[in-house]
Amino acid sequence: MTTIAARPTTTRLGYVDNLRILLTVLVLAHHSALTYGALPMWYWTEPSESLSGLALVAFVVANQFWFMGFFFLLSGLFVPGSVDRKGPGAFARDRLVRLGVPLIVFWLVARPVLSLPGWPERRDQGESFLRFWFSTGDPGPMWFVEVLLVLSLAYAAFRAVRARSTARLGAVPGTDAATDTATSLVARPLTFRAIAAFVAVLTVVTYLWRLAVPLGTYWPGVGLPTPAYLPQYVLLFVAGVLATRRGWLTSLTVRQGRVALIVALVGVGAALGASALASAPDAGIVVLLAQSLAENVVAIGAAVGLLVLFRERFSGQPAWARFAAQHSFAVYVIHPLVLVGVAMLFAPLVAPAGVKFLILLVLSVPLCWGAAYLLRRIPGVARVL
Q: Which helix or strand (DSSP H or E) is residue 211 part of?
A: helix 192-212
Please count the structural domains in the chain: 1
The number of residues making up the chain comes to 385
pLDDT at 160: 95
Is residue 272 within 8 Å of 61, Cβ to Cβ? yes
State residue 274's pLDDT score. 93
pTM greater than 0.75 (yes/no): yes
Are the C-beta atoms of 292 and 206 separated by less than 8 Å?
yes
> What domain range is 301 assigned to?
4-383
Give how far Cα 341 sits from Cα of 25, 122, 155, 285, 329, Å: 17, 21, 38, 44, 19
The residues, ordered by sequence, that sit 6+ positions from 183 with a Cβ below 8 Å of its Cβ are 6, 8, 80, 84, 176, 245
Rounded distance between C-alpha atoms, residue 364 and residue 342, angstroms: 7
* Residue pair 206/232 in contact by the 8 Å Cβ criterion: yes
Cα separation, 45 vs 356, in Å, equals: 12
Q: Which amino acid is at 104?
A: I
pLDDT of residue 13: 85
CB proximity list for 69: less than 8 A, separation 6 or greater: 229, 232, 233, 236, 299, 303
For 318, the enclosing helix (H) or strand (E) is none
pLDDT tens for each residue of the chain, 385 residues long: 333 344 444 456 899 999 999 999 999 999 999 999 998 889 999 999 999 999 999 999 999 999 999 999 999 999 999 999 999 999 999 999 999 999 999 999 999 999 888 888 888 888 889 888 888 778 889 999 999 999 999 999 999 999 888 777 765 444 444 344 444 455 678 899 999 999 999 999 999 999 999 998 988 878 889 999 999 999 999 999 999 889 899 999 999 999 999 999 999 999 999 999 988 888 889 999 999 999 999 999 999 999 999 999 999 999 999 999 999 999 999 999 999 999 999 999 999 999 999 999 999 999 999 999 999 999 999 999 9
Cα–Cα distances (Å) from 368 to 48, 86, 347, in that order, read 25, 32, 19
- Catalogue the E-assigned strands of the chain: 4-5, 186-187
Do 360 and 342 form a contact (C-beta atoms < 8 A)?
yes
Instruction: Give the Cα separation of 207 and 285 in Å (integer).
Output: 9
Distance (Å, whole) CA 72 – CA 297: 17
